[in-house]
Every structure is written in C-alpha cells, then in structure tokens.
Structure 1
C-alpha cells in the first residue's frame, strides 16, 4: 500500500546532513500516492501531516480527541451513556460515519473493531470502524490524513478519506513520560505512563518499542431525575442522588504495546515487521430502573382507573401462593400496607422492591482486547520495479460486562453481575504491490502501480454466562429474561460468519509538464457475499504561479456492509418516546421478523466525490490550503429507528427459538435506507515568525460542513434525519500559537464549535440550537535540562460548559446535551514530565 520505500530511504540519508531538508521531510506523505512520496503542498489531494510534537502539545490522551484538535473536519464527542459507544467512541471525518474512514498503520489496512455502535448519535448509528484509541501517541513518528475519497486506491471504507499512522523507526534513543490530570470539578483523575525506545537490530536494522499505561476515574455531570426526586419526596430513602450518572466512564486499565522492526537485506531490499497488543477495561453508567414501573421488573400494568400496579411473583412453583396482582404503587409502594403484609412479609410472594427498594442503575462496560501482526518485504529490482509483499493479521475482541443489575426471571436467586457475551472481529490480508517508473518523454516518468489484495474476515459471537440469558421460573409471570439492560447472548444465537474478497488495482501518476500533474486509479473488488464493484479516481495538480497551485479530484467509492452489520443479534436498552425504558433487539436484516418490517439483504454504499482546492506557499513563510469537497452517498447503511413489535411478531420470534422475545419492545435492523449529500470547506494555514526574542508558529485548521438527507424511507425517523444533518457543528476551527524562547515554551489554542441540534436520548426530545462554544487550551513548558522537561497545561482552561439542558434534564438527569462537541466535563488541568535520551 505504500509508495516506493527506496525513495523514502534515500531521503532519510540526505536528511542526516541537511537540517533544513529534515524539516521539509517531516511534511512528506506516502499516503494517497504510489509514486515517489510528495510534500503536502505538492499533493493533488488535501493531506494533513501531524508530527509527534503536535500530539505532545495537548491535554487529551486518547487518540480520537488528539486528532480532533489538529484535523479540521475530524469530530468526536463524549459518549456518557451510549451502549457500546462508551467502549469505542465513533469519530467522524468530513461529516461521514466513523466507518467511512479507512485507517492504515505504516500504510497497511487496520482491522475493524468488534464493537458496533448501535447508538452512535445518529450519524454513526450502526457503524463498525477501527478502534484508533489502541494506538499510543508515543509510538508515532507522524500521522497522515488524506481528506479525499480514496476507495479506488485503497478499497472499501475510504469514502471520507484515509488516516495513516506512521510508527517511529529510530534505532537509538527514546523517551519516558509521566502525566497526571484532573477536571476542575475534582473528578476524572487521570494517570498515564508511556515510554519509547529505539534499538539496533544487528548493524542493518532497528527495533522500536512503545508501551503505555493509563487509568482514569469517572466523572459526573448529573442532576436528579424527576421520577427519582418524586420517589424521595414520597418517602423512599433508598433512592440514590443522583440516581443516574452522566459523565465519562471509568477506565480501569488501559495497556498499549507497539513494536516496529526493520532489517536491511541488501540489494535494495528490506524486511519489516510491526504489531501491537492492547487491552482496555471500561465501565460506564446506564439508565436508572424505577422501582415502580420498570418493565419486566416492577411494572404490573395499569388498572382500569389508570393506576400503576406492582409486578408480584409467585414463588411456590404451582401458583398456590395466590399473590396479589392489583397492588397500586402510589407515591411509595414501600409504605403500602398491602405490599408490606401480602408481599414483603409473605414468603410465597416476591417483588424486587424487597431487595432493591430504591430501584437500580446498572454499570455497563467491558474489556477490549486488540492485537495485530504485519510482516513483509519490500525493495527494488534492477529494472526499477519496486515491490512490497506483506501479510497482515488483526483481531479485536470485546467482552461485555454488566453489574449492579439482575436477571428478573430468576427472582430472589438472581446474581448482580453478568458476562453477557463477547464479539470477535478477525481479519487476514495478503498484499502484493508493484511500482515502476516508465519514461515516455514527459517532464517526469509515469509511475505505474499495480497490485493484488486478498482479505479474509470473520465475525464471531460467543454466548454469555448462563445466568445472563437463563429463562428463570418467574418468566411466565411477566418478569424479564436475561441480564437487565444487556441480556446475554444465548448459545443458540452464537456463531461465526466469514467472507473473503479479492482486489486488483491500477494506479498511474506523472507530471505531464513542469507545472501540471495528472493521476488516475482504477480498482476492482469481488466479495464472496454480495458480488463485485469497480471504482475509479482521477486527480490533477496545476502550478499556476510560483506561489499558487490548484488541485482537484473526482472519484467513485464504496463501503461494503460489514459482517457484523449483516449478522449481529443484540439487545440494548434505550429510551422510548413515552419516557420509559424499552428493550430494543437488533436482528439480522434477513431475519423473518426483520423482513416483515422491511428488512432486506444489505448492499454496498456507493459514493461520488469531488474535491477542488488551492495551495498557496508564499516566500514569507505563509502556507495555506483551502479545499472544497462534495460527497454524494447513496444506499447509506444504518440501523432502522425502533419499530414496535406486535404480539404476532413476538410469537414468530418465540417460534424461531428466540426464547427471550417476550422481553422485546422494539426491533431494529441494518438497512440501506437513505441518501445524503455532504459538502464542505477545509482551510489549513501555517506561518512562522520571530517575536518577543523567540520563534512563534501559528496554525489554523478551519472546517465548514453541511449534510442534507436527500431521500429516506419510513424506517428512518424525522429526528434521526435532523441528527444526521445538524448534530455536528457546521463550523469548527482551531487557531494555535506555539512560542519558543530558550528553555521556555508557551502554547495557546483557541477552539470554536458552531451550534448543533440534539435529539436527546434518541427518543424524540429535541434540543434546538445548542449554542456555539469557544474554548481555550493553554500549555507552559520548561526544559529543566537537555534531557528533561516539565509541562503544565489546561484543556478548556476557562472551564466552559455547553448550554444547560433546561427542557429535558429531569427526564434522565442529564444536565447538559450529551452530544455537545466541547463535552460535558468542563476544564481539565494536567502536568507532565518528559525525559528523552
């Protein structure tokens, strides 16, 4: 997937004696071209180069948040209570879903996460992209972000662009960093240690190893829910305050290991190997279960006068207990004499209020385990043919966990912690890439590249522990089945599905004249599960004047539906439009019940993308790029909005052997159900100058994005459409100044986020025009010695919060709009020490 690495190596040798060339080399990108690597300004498409220094100058520690600061159209927000999104946050490039961006490491395709973001804030609902948070910043030499459609070059998923993480390859030296941070409100304490070391591998190679360890405490930005407050007012002293937590999850352990190896084999060839192991345990909040009306736990229905009744179970086994079914909960059922006498003090009858008098709030999370290994060889033959042959193995596993909850059907014998199951995504890829410059009499040789790729992928689901799915003795009496909030995967629903695909590509690029470069690409892919597709791209760059060049591209692209999207079965808890919790089952689109509701075999998403921009590189040091993009995406994949189940639907599910179907209120499935047009402008500018006795570097990253849903079926609600169109800020920019003076360094970064719309809780509770926000990041660094420096900084230094959620905050206790682009936690301060050697 990389360009000629021989050219790369030659530039490295030159850099050893030319410091100025070294700085220019850091702006060389190999992503987006298979010709000789070009500088950012010489590229025909927009590319951002993020150096390792830019990652060091940030308060954020996770990769997604770091990327948002320096890439104009990259967006990510907090996921305080959002099911699997709490474990792997979806990030968005150029207004697309998180799995519309192809991720590479050292130019090789990165495997997907096993996590499917069933609740992805509208835009990323149902997305299944790679987990970039497993990549430690300390391992990176630079990051290349190609902001243009590149499916014709790299294959499925590259609709929004490509991110290439380039690993460090030094054979000596290293660094060690210790970092501590906390939010201004005194919670969310974070501790991180990271280290990187380069070592020689004989006298002709290198071994570069990175390790990182991090923990972070949870945060809370909640108010008491209205229903919980009503219970307390009614005399129920067992209700927690707040009953439900909105905030960052707890990161119990986050371990990341990366290694990058290379060995010169002589005769212009080398062998390489790199890989990683990462493990992260996360636990976050969930929705509060009201002890009066939680379905399948406490809700006994409504009587003819509209009074809420209590669900009471008969423990005798033969229904001889004659337990009451007409106890009205009132304002506090715990004080109801009938409840006290006929249930609490009756060994034959049972209600969960006896062991959970204040209700309960599950804690949801899991352990993410990620590993990869890539090895291969590359070089150049005597006839100037460059080759790169590699094997790529990757796997991501998520083992879910839920605690402080129950399996209602087990009654008083229920445990309170469950392992609901695990999902595993595995991929194996073989790449063969060839490149040859052909002299045809033009200003520059025509670089002709061709290649072959074979990829096999597997998606596996494994059953949870028996208590998480067991049908207990109270199931027939209306009590829910499985671990409440996230029922376990039963053995008859586990399984493994796989597919393979082959791809051939042809890529040509050349400067036809001294000032005009033309490039083209064509790619054919054939998938075993849905057929083949052919995509193409053409791009140009014209140096119109000495300091100004124009560039542009047109491409067609696609994203294949993932195995997870086509086959997953899952149950998640969500808010219904009536303000009550519902259990929503996600079924395969080919399931008979899904088909009754409009489900069909998934097909690829198809895109047409246009990019046009200008590059200005002035003699005074000012460098500016401005690029317009227009993406038309048809047959977009997403989960359907919740569809209510009838009694007939439930009976059909039961007949299929889905024994917990009586617990479902709604179903959803993946569908190709809407088309969108996204357009935007990215502006990137850099300027350096001497001032105040030192050097100052200024940088601007600006983005305007607008998405319109052109066509959608009835499976996509009007609220979902608004989220797709307006949940990301239409305008976002950051302006950074980094001043160095002797041993001191001062950084200031101004961040602006435009207003957004939120469908609060994904349940038809609109929050219109959440106001625009501006935050300030500050950092002060001092070099104590040649090898040791200390840094004190603040992210969101002025402690800004989004507009309060005044209209709906009492429903679930969320003080702020949960999808706010500035987050809900406020200011964060940090201190770090860095030792280099």
Structure 2
C-alpha cells in the first residue's frame, strides 16, 4: 500500500509539471454577493445584513480532500463541529453536527431557501451534546452540486419557524445552463487505510430557450479506519490459551471511521421562465449509502445474557430439554475459573459440548465476538413552485415540497441469546423513516413611507407542514423472546435489539404558521427590521416569536449591527415516541444494556416522564462590519443564546425487578438483561455565549494574487438550572466537551497556472468525559493543530491537484489513564483522530 501511494504521488507530481493546454471554459465559481437567507428583501449584500452571514463558494468545497460534506463545512466554518462517531450506535449512520455548541436539531437546513427535512436517525449516543437529537442528514448532498452555501449565524425562528435557534444553513444548487464539470478524487490515510474513491459530475443544460436544467451526480466509496490497540481482556484470554479470540491478532474491538459503500448522490435543479414576470422551478435529490461500523467486544467468559448470567462467576449453560419440553434441568453449573481463560478446549467446556442436551454460546463463538452494526440510509426530496411579480409590484412564491429520510438497520456477527443454538447471527432490527411535507405561500410588497430612505419591505405568508415518523418492526428473530429466556439468556439481537410490532408505529404532527417580516431604511444610515411569527401545532398548541434587527452605517466603511429574537424548537414525533436498547461500556470494559423509552411509557412516567413541550430561546447578537481598506475586511460578532426547557435524554435510571418485569411484559427486546434506561425530558436551561471573528485580506505578491482568511470562534455553554433528571456528568459534557476556542488561517496563492493552498487549524483544550464509568470521571485533552496543504495546476481542459489534510499527521493527546477497551485516542476529538490524509484529484471542465 505504501509503495502504491508513493508511486501515485510520483505520477501526480510529473503531471503537475506538464505544459499547460489552451483553456476551453473557465471553471471559476461566481459567488453571489447578495444573500437570500435571513432576509426577504432583494439585493442585500453580506455587509448590509444586520445578522452575520457567511457565504462559502462551491470552489471552497472542491479545494479540500475531505470525502463527506459535514467534514468540509467543519473546515470552513469554525463554529460548526462534527466528530468521527465510532461505536456510537445509530449516530454512526448520520453523524450529529453542532453549530455554536448546540445540538443538530437546533440548526435549520434550507435548500434553495426551502426547508429541508430532518434525518431519520436519532442520536442515542451523541457524545453528550447531541444525545437524543434528531438533526438533518446533510451528507446526502453532493458538494459538486453546490453553487454556494449561506450560513446565518443567528436565531431566525421568527422568520423560518422551528429549529432555527443556533442558525441556518442554506444550500444553493448550481443553476448554470451550460458546461460540464467532472472530478475524480482518490486518497488514503498515512496509516494505509481509509481508502477513498470518488467520481462526481455536474452538467448544465438549457431547458428550452428560457430555462436551465442542472444535474449533479456523485459516486463514492470509503474504506474503514482503525486507530485501536488490543483490548487487555482479549489479550489475556489469548495468552491464557484461547487462540480463537475474535479478529486476533488484530484488535478485537475497532475504534475508527466506518465503511461507507455504494454511496450515490443525485441532484437536479430546473428553472423555466414562463413569461417576463413569472418563473417555474423544480429541484430535488436522491441519495443512498451503506454504512457499516463496529460495536463492543463480547468477552466469552462474562458477557451477560450470552456467556454468563452472574458477571462471569459461572458460565451460562443452556438446557435444551428444559427449554423445549419443560423437562427437569440436568446441565451442570460450571464456574468460569474451572474452565481456564475461556479456552474452548478445556475439560469442562468439552464435557458440555459433548452433551447434546447442554449448550454454551462458546460453541458458536469460542473467542467471543464483536458485532458489526450499520444499515442502509436513503434520502429523497422534491420541491416545486412558481414565483414572480404582479402588476402592482408584489412578489410572490408559491411552493410545495416533500422529503423523506430512512435508515434500515443491520447488525451481524451477533445473536439472540433467548433462541439458544437456533439463533441466527445476522439480523434486520427494523427501520426508522422521517417524512415531511411543506406548503408555502410567500408575498413581498414594497410600501412607500414618507421620509424613509427606502420603501418598507413587507413580507408575509403562511406555511402548512406535516411531519411523520415511522418505526418499522424488524425480522422476528431480532426481537423474539425465545425459549431460553427463563434460563437467563438475553432477548433480541445482542447490541441493538430489534423493534417488535408493539414498538412499531406511525406518529404524525401538523402545524400551520403565519408570519410578518418588515424591513427598511429609515435613513441612508439606519436599517431596521421586525419579524413576528405565529404557529399552531396539533400536539402541544401555539407559539409566537419575534425578531428585532438593526444596522447602523456609522461611516462609509463601518457598519454596526444587532439582533434580538425569541425562538423555539418543537419536539419531534420520534423523540416523543421512540424506544431503543443499546449496549455501552464503562471504563473498566464491562458492558451493560442501556435503554431509551418513550417519555409517556408507564415505566418512564413512574420516574418523572411526561409529554414533551417545545424548547424556547432568546437570542442576542451584536457586531460590526469594517472594510478597513480596499483589501482588508473584518467582521466581529458577539452572541448569547438563552435556551429554556431543553429537550434531551435524562440521566440513567437504575431499573428495579418490577420495572424489568413490566418491560418484559410489554415485549421490549433485551429487557431481561437491561440495567439502565433513559427517556426524553424538558429538563434544563442553558446560556451559550461566544464571539466570531472573520478577517479577509487580498494582496499581490510572488508574481500572483494571495487571499488570506482568518476565522476565530469562541463558544461557552453554562447550565443555568436543572430539575435533576440530568446529572453532573452530563452537565460536564454540555459545558466542556467542545473546545472554547478554535481558529484557522487559510492562504490561497494563484500564480500563472498554479494555485497553492495552506490552512492552519487550531482547537483549544477540551475535556473528555466517561459517563459510563463508576465513578464518572473526566480528563483534559490538550489543544491540537493540523496543517492542510494543496497544490494544483490548471492545464486548460483539466486541473490536477495534490493535497494533504493534516499533513503533519497530528493526533489527539492520549489520556492513557482513562482510555479503555482498545481505544487509542479520545473519540470526541474536534479535529478527528485518523491522522494525515493524502489525496489526488483530476478536474475536467468543458
């Protein structure tokens, strides 16, 4: 592999030195300086926005080596964070992302200005900050389809409705009617794994003489990575004579990025001018991918419900006749120490295996096992509408959209203990499906006001939205209570129990909204805005929110801006009704079953559960825009977000024997060996404060043009109060899991046919928490930096690029006193833990 990488680099370097060919069509992206997000007023520049807005051009996504769109955005927007999610249950399929330190469902995602549906996955294990969140799946969007991305770093629920608390990301699709762009990209990590192959294309075509049809496709495969060491217990078993340890001599448990295969993304964007004052539009996407990651290692001497029923003191020996015919038990009780270090060849185990009436799962998995978990994720959406201007000058936009995201789960290399020797080793636990429908009618009317420097922009409209969450039950073996349950065997596919028919269902919610959004220039120097929104939900009732904004043009090159607003986030139907069983590990490596129950489940209600209510927020933002010189521009914004009644998963509740009996009677898979459970609650209030600084500078040097961009972001969250259902460890995660400061400095130099890029990324120290250990503890992880480098040459018809992300192969600090279970680096590292990634790209434009 190393030789292959070196030879590939040699070829790339030789191609970069080829003579240039005549250029056919310029591939330069044209970034719109007029923003659409955060305002319903036409022709407003970024600098004239009372709220901070970042515009990221499509070329910014092309000019980096990351394979996944969230990772690309993390590089470009420091207040945006997304982590690698090893052994994180459903969060491995759709990674939760954070904007301004808040959960992913506090960020609203738009496409071409229209609300995009959320993902089907609920992050049961979301590294604390995102626990229980149900955010959007932006990985389904191909980066080659993007003309630009607008990031509104401000609350906007009064303008756009639920979820827009931390901000908004508006993905704008390309709309050119001619030209073809093709990109071929390949790369791998310095450790020789994580190979990535990607082919993408964008084609612009005329759609009659008055329109365009722009189509994008992306095909990609990414191999898994492993940054693991051998678990201590697995090594001890091997040293004790068990030569069948799972995956040996490789680590029995893998910490790394999952395998992502058959990753297909399609986008179409169509526009047609019907007449001089009317336009039809249609856009949509389809995406699918297969994701497969790992779970925790099941020790063949002590795994509860599989190999033992008493923590490893004795083996779990199943009596076939007792289970199938009700006969008296004849199988012996075998102490684990008497059978050696788990060796399948020791005398005691051999005697059991020779008896056809007695069975141990060591016969199926003599060296233990590590389940593989993943699934098929699919996503589709379509939006269409007509917009134009009436004879009186009122602009209108009437649209309808529908979108769906689904996750069809898969777990293999595991078993349903209660089925005994008849258990399969691969299961389909079921599916989650998120479906949303939107109908919008929007109007904008300019109204003349005496004495004002501009017309008053009066925007108003209504929205009707339906949201549906579906749980599809899995195959019977994944949740079935088999005949060996009464002998201590666990129920359901071990690691991720299937959804039984009682857990399956369809939950709907609808709401209607009315809004009024006013904005205008009172004088040449003062802009003011006021937005109000009223919404009526058929579940929890009504909510009203407002936003006040202003911009003072203090001088010709200095603008001062402010906003204050209220907002809300409605609990999703999934959060209010879902149930799930997962396996987690403490720092000592001991596994236990952890459940999530609906807040209205009788067991949850006995511990304080009740129907969820919306979160409510108050946002403040103050900042400035300073064009210091023709070459230097600076924006500086401070913000505060007060969030009340935050929805999250509460702390673990220890189950009593009566609770377990109740859940077993309900048919909850895994209830027999369930020790802890959580449920969603409106529990605590937080205040999140931060500062964002963006500085850009352009100059001519070294026979070319150089663009410098410095972005600095701070964020700090404090838990103001809690009712007690969320404990100290979770509060610690919320307050210190993300670094308080991070910044990056990017330099892009163009000279002749060459383009050089260097980006220095830095994150402050942060605190890693192990909330499953007993007692809970934490440890500080040192600050970290990475250096990205890229060089490309434009040869006319095609461009060759050679690059490295994290070129110096930096990895997080290793708090050796806390890491366990084969973990080499803290899993929540803000800059990842896979090390250097080298890549080569070929781009064609014609």
What secondary structure, in the 3-state scheme, does the structure 2 residue paired with 1:678 have?
A: strand
Counterpart position of 1:622:
632
What secondary structure, in the 3-state scheme, does the structure 2 residue paired with 1:258 have?
A: strand
**Cα distance in 2 for residues equivalent to 1:80 and 1:765:** 21
Change (3 A) 1:578 1:643: farther
The CA deviation at 1:232 is 1.5
The CA deviation at 1:107 is 0.2
CA displacement, residues 641-682 of structure 1 (integer Å, 9 cap, x when unaligned) = 221110011122233344652232211111111111100000
Counterpart position of 1:358:
367
1:244 aligned residue (236, 253, 256): 253
What secondary structure, in the 3-state scheme, does the structure 2 residue paired with 1:654 have?
A: helix
What secondary structure, in the 3-state scheme, does the structure 2 residue paired with 1:111 have?
A: coil
Counterpart position of 1:766:
777
Change (3 A) 1:74 1:335: closer
**Cα distance in 1 for residues equivalent to 2:350 and 2:564:** 75
Counterpart position of 1:8:
none
1:211 aligned residue (197, 201, 217): 217
What secondary structure, in the 3-state scheme, does the structure 1 residue paired with 2:554 have?
A: coil
Task: Tell me if structure 2 keeps the 8 A contact 1:324–1:342.
Answer: no
The CA deviation at 1:42 is 0.8
Counterpart position of 1:106:
112
Task: Tell me if structure 2 keeps the 8 A contact 1:323–1:342.
Answer: no
What secondary structure, in the 3-state scheme, does the structure 2 residue paired with 1:521 have?
A: strand
The CA deviation at 1:300 is 3.0
- The alignment status of 1:328 with 2:336, answered yes or no, reads yes
Counterpart position of 2:761:
751
* Larger mean Cα displacement after TM superposition, 237-246 or 445-454: 237-246
Counterpart position of 1:164:
170
2:690 aligned residue (680, 694, 712): 680
**Cα distance in 2 for residues equivalent to 1:815 and 1:428:** 44
Task: Tell me if structure 2 keeps the 8 A contact 1:153–1:505.
Answer: yes
Q: What are the residue-to-residue correspondences of 1:143-182 with 2, within 5 Å?
A: 143-182=149-188
**Cα distance in 2 for residues equivalent to 1:216 and 1:273:** 31
What secondary structure, in the 3-state scheme, does the structure 2 residue paired with 1:812 have?
A: coil
**Cα distance in 2 for residues equivalent to 1:191 and 1:762:** 37
- The alignment status of 1:138 with 2:144, answered yes or no, reads yes
Change (3 A) 1:730 1:468: same
- The alignment status of 1:188 with 2:199, answered yes or no, reads no
**Cα distance in 2 for residues equivalent to 1:765 and 1:345:** 44
* Larger mean Cα displacement after TM superposition, 583-592 or 100-109: 583-592
Task: Tell me if structure 1 keeps the 8 A contact 2:581–2:670.
Answer: no
- The alignment status of 1:202 with 2:208, answered yes or no, reads yes
* Larger mean Cα displacement after TM superposition, 644-653 or 578-587: 578-587
The CA deviation at 1:343 is 0.9
**Cα distance in 2 for residues equivalent to 1:539 and 1:694:** 41
- The alignment status of 1:386 with 2:391, answered yes or no, reads no
Query: Tell me, which stretches of 5 or more residues in structure 2 are unaligned?
Result: 1-27
CA displacement, residues 448-494 of structure 1 (integer Å, 9 cap, x when unaligned) = 00010000111010111111112222111110111110111111221
Counterpart position of 2:318:
313
State TM-score, norm by structure 1. Answer: 0.95
**Cα distance in 1 for residues equivalent to 2:371 and 2:346:** 29
Change (3 A) 1:173 1:335: closer
Counterpart position of 1:3:
none
**Cα distance in 2 for residues equivalent to 1:364 and 1:633:** 34
Counterpart position of 2:738:
728
**Cα distance in 2 for residues equivalent to 1:81 and 1:717:** 23
- The alignment status of 1:701 with 2:711, answered yes or no, reads yes
Counterpart position of 1:776:
787
2:723 aligned residue (713, 717, 727): 713
Query: Tell me, which stretches of 5 or more residues in structure 1 are unaligned?
Result: 1-21
Q: What are the residue-to-residue correspondences of 1:332-411 with 2, within 5 Å?
A: 332-334=341-343, 339-411=348-420
The CA deviation at 1:25 is 6.1
CA displacement, residues 144-203 of structure 1 (integer Å, 9 cap, x when unaligned) = 000000000000000000100000000100200000010000000000000000000100
2:567 aligned residue (554, 557, 561): 557
**Cα distance in 2 for residues equivalent to 1:119 and 1:564:** 15
Counterpart position of 1:518:
528
**Cα distance in 2 for residues equivalent to 1:288 and 1:643:** 24
Q: What are the residue-to-residue correspondences of 1:651-690 with 2, within 5 Å?
A: 651-658=661-668, 660-690=670-700
Counterpart position of 1:253:
262
Q: State the aligned residue count.
A: 810
**Cα distance in 1 for residues equivalent to 2:828 and 2:391:** 56
Task: Tell me if structure 2 keeps the 8 A contact 1:686–1:700.
Answer: yes
- The alignment status of 1:816 with 2:825, answered yes or no, reads yes
Counterpart position of 1:221:
227
**Cα distance in 1 for residues equivalent to 2:417 and 2:574:** 29
Change (3 A) 1:822 1:577: closer
CA displacement, residues 501-537 of structure 1 (integer Å, 9 cap, x when unaligned) = 0000000000100011000100001110110100000
1:598 aligned residue (608, 612, 623): 608
Counterpart position of 1:4:
none
Change (3 A) 1:215 1:23: closer
State TM-score, norm by structure 2. Answer: 0.94
Task: Tell me if structure 1 keeps the 8 A contact 2:615–2:646.
Answer: yes
**Cα distance in 2 for residues equivalent to 1:516 and 1:25:** 27
Task: Tell me if structure 2 keeps the 8 A contact 1:623–1:686.
Answer: yes
**Cα distance in 2 for residues equivalent to 1:142 and 1:227:** 50
**Cα distance in 2 for residues equivalent to 1:657 and 1:479:** 15
Task: Tell me if structure 2 keeps the 8 A contact 1:138–1:194.
Answer: yes
1:51 aligned residue (53, 57, 64): 57
**Cα distance in 1 for residues equivalent to 2:669 and 2:153:** 47
CA displacement, residues 37-68 of structure 1 (integer Å, 9 cap, x when unaligned) = 31111100000000011111111121111111
**Cα distance in 1 for residues equivalent to 2:57 and 2:441:** 29
Counterpart position of 1:448:
458
What secondary structure, in the 3-state scheme, does the structure 2 residue paired with 1:671 have?
A: strand
Provide the alpha-carbon RMSD of the alignment: 1.5
**Cα distance in 2 for residues equivalent to 1:478 and 1:299:** 8
Counterpart position of 2:12:
none
What secondary structure, in the 3-state scheme, does the structure 1 residue paired with 2:47 have?
A: coil
**Cα distance in 1 for residues equivalent to 2:30 and 2:215:** 26
Change (3 A) 1:355 1:660: closer
The CA deviation at 1:26 is 2.0
The CA deviation at 1:583 is 1.4
What secondary structure, in the 3-state scheme, does the structure 1 residue paired with 2:810 have?
A: coil
Counterpart position of 2:43:
37
What secondary structure, in the 3-state scheme, does the structure 1 residue paired with 2:658 have?
A: helix
What secondary structure, in the 3-state scheme, does the structure 2 residue paired with 1:491 have?
A: coil
What secondary structure, in the 3-state scheme, does the structure 2 residue paired with 1:411 have?
A: helix
What secondary structure, in the 3-state scheme, does the structure 2 residue paired with 1:66 have?
A: helix
1:412 aligned residue (402, 421, 426): 421
Change (3 A) 1:30 1:613: same
What secondary structure, in the 3-state scheme, does the structure 1 residue paired with 2:533 have?
A: strand
The CA deviation at 1:745 is 0.5
- The alignment status of 1:829 with 2:835, answered yes or no, reads no
- The alignment status of 1:458 with 2:468, answered yes or no, reads yes
**Cα distance in 1 for residues equivalent to 2:328 and 2:352:** 14
* Larger mean Cα displacement after TM superposition, 136-145 or 319-328: 319-328
**Cα distance in 1 for residues equivalent to 2:327 and 2:300:** 24
**Cα distance in 1 for residues equivalent to 2:483 and 2:345:** 26
The CA deviation at 1:336 is 7.9
- The alignment status of 1:117 with 2:126, answered yes or no, reads no
What secondary structure, in the 3-state scheme, does the structure 2 residue paired with 1:38 have?
A: coil
CA displacement, residues 759-807 of structure 1 (integer Å, 9 cap, x when unaligned) = 13754653421000011000000012x2200000000000000011311
What secondary structure, in the 3-state scheme, does the structure 2 residue paired with 1:723 have?
A: helix
The CA deviation at 1:713 is 3.0
